[in-house]
Chains A and B, each alone.
Chain A
Amino acid sequence: MARYVVDVMPKPEILDPQGKAVLGSLPRLGFAGVSDVRQGKRFEIELDGEPSDALLEEVRAMAEKLLSNPVIEDFEVHAPGEQA
């Protein structure tokens, strides 16, 4: 079993209303000093077979085609527990 994680985040220049809503709530809960919050999505993908460059490319293709919209989002693919 191969497992990969796809992180999708709104591009820095794109307004992130959801992140702004969270940012607005934190001070009300007593969390001071939070300067910004961005909200994205995390996908955990399991595939048949052992991890390989080919499977990594496959997941990258999924991220490009469906999981993210390149107009408004960036994505990173990595193995679980690894940083991209």
Chain B
Amino acid sequence: MKVGVVTFPGSLDDGDARRAVTIGGNEAVALWHGDDDLKGVDAVVLPGGFSYGDYLRCGAISRFAPVMSSVIAAAGSGMPVLGICNGFQILCESHLLPGALIRNDHRKFVCRDQRLRIERVDTPWTSSYAAGAEVTIVLKNGEGGFVADEPTLDRLEGEGLVVARYLDDNPNGSLRDIAGISNERGNVVGLMPHPEHAVEDLTGPGTDGLGFFTSLAAHVFA
């Protein structure tokens, strides 16, 4: 599959995301925030970083970048879209996912190897995992606290839309330990931790993140 990785001004992890896409067995295609052409890709990754300097709110300005009008339209038609960290913030600002990400409750930037439980595995990004799989993936954020009102949180849990949950220690004050969520259809997934930094033994805590990038292929051939 051709997987587009968008570069915004201030993106940091677009290079690692393209590398992870390649290691996962797919073809990485660089996409540019100022160009609404998705270049015929089959899926899109919105990478981590500080797009547009995180001015106003994280993801608030990126959400109106030309490429996002195409991504939002494609997501509505079922194209798989994965937002990692800043990408998750952009998906929330775009209203493709509910809730919002706010500053960590302890007010410090956190960077650590984080244990997670993968809870929803019928998405094109998580189908390589067994339901309930416990994995360790890099987490690094300053504004990673997931918040939403109680009815929204109840709906996310009731409809099984929580994709990943923090284990051991909640690193940022996210309500109900939520680390990642999906839309109803499952094609849009937002995740605060960084699976693209956990795809090779040499760099990172292991290869537990690889599943996010191999799932696409498995999904197509399933």
Task: Give residues in A with beta carbon < 8 Å to B.
Answer: 10, 13-15, 17-18, 20-21, 66-67, 69, 71-72
Contacts and interface: CB of A to CB of B under 8 A. Distances in A.
B145 interface: yes
Interface of B: 56-57, 60-61, 64, 92-93, 98-100, 102-107, 145, 147-149, 173
B147 A72 contact: yes
Nearest to B150: A13
A21 B142 CA distance: 15
Contact of A15 (B61, B92, B98, B147): B147
Contact of A69 (B61, B100, B103, B105): B100
B148 A71 contact: yes
Given A15-B105, A21-B107, A71-B147, 17 more contacts: A14-B102, A15-B145, A15-B173, A17-B103, A17-B104, A17-B105, A17-B106, A18-B103, A66-B56, A66-B60, A66-B61, A66-B64, A69-B57, A69-B93, A69-B100, A71-B98, A72-B147
21 contacts: A10-B102, A13-B149, A14-B102, A15-B105, A15-B145, A17-B102, A17-B103, A17-B104, A17-B105, A17-B106, A17-B107, A21-B107, A66-B56, A66-B64, A69-B57, A69-B60, A69-B100, A71-B99, A71-B149, A72-B102, A72-B147
Given A67-B56, A71-B148, A15 B107 contact: no
Most buried by A among B64, B102, B173: B102
Contacts of B102: 10, 14-15, 17, 72
Given A15-B147, A66-B56, A66-B60, A72 B107 contact: no
Most buried by B among A13, A15, A21, A71: A71
Contacts of B61: 66
